Amino acid sequence: MTMSDPPPVLDVRTPAEFSHGHVPGAMNMPLFSNEERVLVGTTYKQVGREAAILQGFDLTGAKWAGFIRQALDIAPHKKIAVHCWRGGMRSAAIAWALDLYGFEVYLIENGYKAYRRWVQRQFEATRNLRVIGGMTGSGKTRLLQALQAKGEQMIDLEDLAQHQGSAYGSLNSRIQPSQEQFENNLAEELYRLDDSRRVWVEDESMAIGRCLVPRFFWDQMQAAVLFDLQVSEDRRVCALVQEYGQLDKEFLVSCTLRISKRLGTERAKHAIAAIRRDDMVEFIRQVLVYYDKLYRKGLDNRPGRCIFRVRLKNGNN
C-alpha cells in the first residue's frame, strides 16, 4: 500500500504476539486475549473452522462497540489499516465491523507474516557502509551524531538495541527490545536511507546485549572501510568515568562479576575493590585492559583490511 498520507496501522493480534514483534508505530487492538486465542486455535484444530468461528464470536460478542470506540480514538478521521498474523479471520472480522461503521479500511495483504518477509529483504540489500571504530571510550557515538548533524546518513545500532554493547551496556536502566522488534526497527531505518549515498555505522560485535545484528548486514559491516579513532587512554578514561561513574555501585559490581573469568580473577577483584571505594578512574582502567584487548582482536579478525587510523587532536571529536 502506497500513499502520501498513510493511515494508522491497527494490529489485531494478541498482546503477546504484539510484544514479541510489531510494525513500528502500529497500535495494538487485540481481537482475542492471549488465552482466548489458544482456545480458538485448539477448537480450530480439534473440531474445525466453523466451530472456531462461532467460538470466536461468543468470546468477542460484548467487545465490538469497544473495538469501534478504540479505533475512533486511534483514527478519528475514520481511515485505518488493519492486519493480523497472515491476513486471516481476525483482521477480516475487525475490518468488516469498522467498514460497517463507516471507516475507510485498508486490509494489509498477508498480514504481519508478509511484513516480516519484507524486513528480511532489507538486510539482504547491498549498502555503501562506512564504519567508525575505536577502543571503548573513543567517542564513536558522538562522532556518528556529529556526522548526522552535517547531513550524513547514519544508523545508530546501539540506540536501536537500547544497549551500549559492553557488560555494563544496559546502564542499569535501558530495556532491550525483542530480537524480532530490533530487526523491525532496523529494517525501517534502512528503508529510509538513500542507497546511492554512504551510510555510517559504529563498529559492533554481532551481539549488542541480547540483540543480534542480522548476519548479512553485519558481514557488510565487517567488509566495509573502517575509520579507527585514535584517542589517548586518559581521554577515554575521562569520558567513561562521566558515562558510567554515576551508576549504581551494586550494578557495576554485578556486571563485573559476570565477566570476571574474562577479566581474570585478580583484575576483577581490583576492579570491584575500586568500585567499593568509589575510585571510578581505577575501575575503568582495570576493565579497559580487557576491552582494549578484545577490540584489537576484532580488528585483526576483520576480513576487510581497509582500515584508516584517525588521530583526534582535541576532545570535541
Catalytic positions are: 84
Question: Greatest CA separation found in the chain?
Answer: 73
Q: Taking a C-beta distance cutoff of 8 angstroms, is the pair 6, 79 a contact?
A: no
Strand ranges in the chain using DSSP code E only, listed in sequence order: 9-11, 27-28, 79-83, 104-107, 129-134, 153-155, 199-202, 207-208, 211-212, 225-230, 307-311
**From CA 169, how far away is CA 162, in angstroms rounded?**
8
Q: How many CA atoms lie within 13 A of 41 on its CB side?
A: 10
| Contact between residue 162 and residue 174 where contact means Cβ atoms under 8 Å apart | yes
Report yes or no: 43 and 56 within 8 Å, Cβ to Cβ: no
- The C-alpha atoms of residue 79 and residue 137 are separated, in whole angstroms, by 48
Task: State which amino acid sits at residue 312.
Answer: L
* Residue pointed to by grid coordinates 491497527: 10
The alpha carbon of residue 312 and the mean position of all alpha carbons in its chain are separated, in whole angstroms, by 30
Whether the Cβ atoms of residue 106 and residue 7 lie closer than 8 Å to each other: yes
